Structure 1
């Protein structure tokens, strides 16, 4: 049997009416909608696709730069390229797959395929990634509260001290155990490298935080946001924010801010020739970290 063909897809979605990325029985999710679209496209020769993704976003979280991969049998690729449209225009399978899926998703859809190409050898959307970048938007007392932006912005009453939050968050950068800021998942490590945690106001006064890390664990970004807001409110000190990195369990001092303010902006990858090595390296590092955590918890 011939090996499947892997495609790399860029995806954007409004997370408002999705129950997160991951497929769940009886719930509308981004993965579920996309896999149904692929099944519809190849309904004459049934296919059971499975999307793997760079960032498994939670319910209500948005994305403009999500990345996933999906494997298709060569017969399905050939079926795409043998259509009348492909024959008359010379368009390739990756472009056809993008356009056909977007057609199935509809002209007023809340999820869209922004790009599609043949994945390089060894590419894995999750494990080949070098880093992920998120943005969180808060409209405080100084900001314009735009009803048209309410689905992607958290409205917050008091004025936030952006300079104080920015200073406090600098002490969290680097390699650390973010267990205090994560919801535990069995077998998952909470060791991450936080590369950026910056703050600014846009032209409308909206407070925008940008966070970048090699990876984020469950609810980590929204918990970090809650901790930073607590510093502005005076409920936590800057020193306490950093000290929580030495605790090995989730902290009750940290609130999780609403999902609607969070958007996955970008996922970065090494050069195509290096994606396989990066995936192997990430898997090995995660396994080593998880084994070390298991040993320390015995």
Structure 2
């Protein structure tokens, strides 16, 4: 098996959130279906994501991982005459393997450790299903040029440029091919920007150090820019930037954010809020940057909703801090609309600290 890291983005407007749900269109469902189709898997593979987003929430940079059999990647060698196979930028730490060396060594490097890829095959043959079935430098192809030759079917002779075209791809080329094919299969409101071999110990969810969100609000008297209506919320009262920031400062640090979360059975609501700051841009747009080690369900939108109430004068500056101290959900906190929220960045520690971070994150926190 090999773990692949996916860096992706999406417009959440027409999705019922990230998580797969029967009968609903979700980001996870779309990507898993596309991967299963491209890699010809028996069923969709299971994605693990850095942070699940609610319906309508966007992501400029989301991160997920998926575990697949190394042999599945050989599917990307097929249909090359139709799809092309130009290599893109490097596929990540430890993923660069010279063409032919995977077959000779029988392994793929995944962030340092060797991931076994089955029996050793001659140089130039495809590693995976059917690997090693041809002499070195003579890949077996069906007469239509797609996939391996069926039993009893004549093997197409290849030499010169044709032989070079049919040689198996190296890891970087395969993953660059996967990105291109995902772009052709996925709908335009979700895009996988990069696929790389994950470093040792990497877990998209548990290895993350922090997540950074942005919430965008317009308080322009005439309404927001119609061209940005899917990502900017219009607030129909003028907002006091200084008051919102003064209230936000009282929320920073490690606290039990039960007052701003939808409680889930068995899940802790203790989080470390590292940054919560509003700025007014030159175009008049107000943008809140919210950073925490992790977020519980609806936490960011509830925090924003409380601060908007302070900003337009309906609540005093001290009110959000008082709600936090109560540690119970306050009916006065209104969750801000989903479409103003966007996941901008997920940060991870250095490679050598990934596994340690994942183990620490899995422990249930207490104050």
TM-score normalised by L of structure 1: 0.90
Q: Is contact 1:7-1:94 (8 Å) kept? A: no
| 1:105 Cα deviation from its structure 2 partner | 1.1
| 1:81 Cα deviation from its structure 2 partner | 4.4
1:26 and 2:107 matched: no
Listed one character per residue, the Cα deviations across residues 53-95 of structure 1 (whole Å, up to 9, x for unaligned) are: 0110000000001111011112202332466344747543322
- Bigger CA radius of gyration: 2
Q: Is contact 1:120-1:273 (8 Å) kept? A: no
Listed one character per residue, the Cα deviations across residues 259-279 of structure 1 (whole Å, up to 9, x for unaligned) are: 000000000000122111110
Query: What does residue 159 of structure 1 align with?
Result: 238
Query: What does residue 63 of structure 1 align with?
Result: 59
Query: What does residue 296 of structure 1 align with?
Result: none
1:263 and 2:342 matched: yes
Listed one character per residue, the Cα deviations across residues 236-292 of structure 1 (whole Å, up to 9, x for unaligned) are: 2222211222223211110001000000000000012211111011102xx244xx8
| 1:111 Cα deviation from its structure 2 partner | 0.2
Query: What does residue 176 of structure 2 align with?
Result: 95
Larger % of helix: which?
Answer: 1
CA distance in 2, matches of 1:81, 1:130: 36
* 1:1-298 map, 5 Å: 4-43=1-40, 45-81=41-77, 84=80, 85-86=84-85, 88=165, 91-106=172-187, 109-141=188-220, 145-284=224-363, 287-289=364-366
For structure 2, the 5+ residue unaligned runs are 86-163
How many correspondences in the alignment? 282
| 1:201 Cα deviation from its structure 2 partner | 1.2
| 1:196 Cα deviation from its structure 2 partner | 0.6
CA distance in 1, matches of 2:317, 2:195: 43
TM-score normalised by L of structure 2: 0.73
For structure 1, the 5+ residue unaligned runs are 293-298
| 1:214 Cα deviation from its structure 2 partner | 0.3
CA distance in 2, matches of 1:164, 1:143: 23
CA distance in 1, matches of 2:357, 2:181: 31
Q: Is contact 2:50-2:64 (8 Å) kept? A: yes
Q: Is contact 1:9-1:69 (8 Å) kept? A: yes
SS at match of 1:92: helix
| 1:22 Cα deviation from its structure 2 partner | 0.3
CA root-mean-square deviation: 1.8
Runs of 4+ in 1 over 6 A off after TM superposition: none
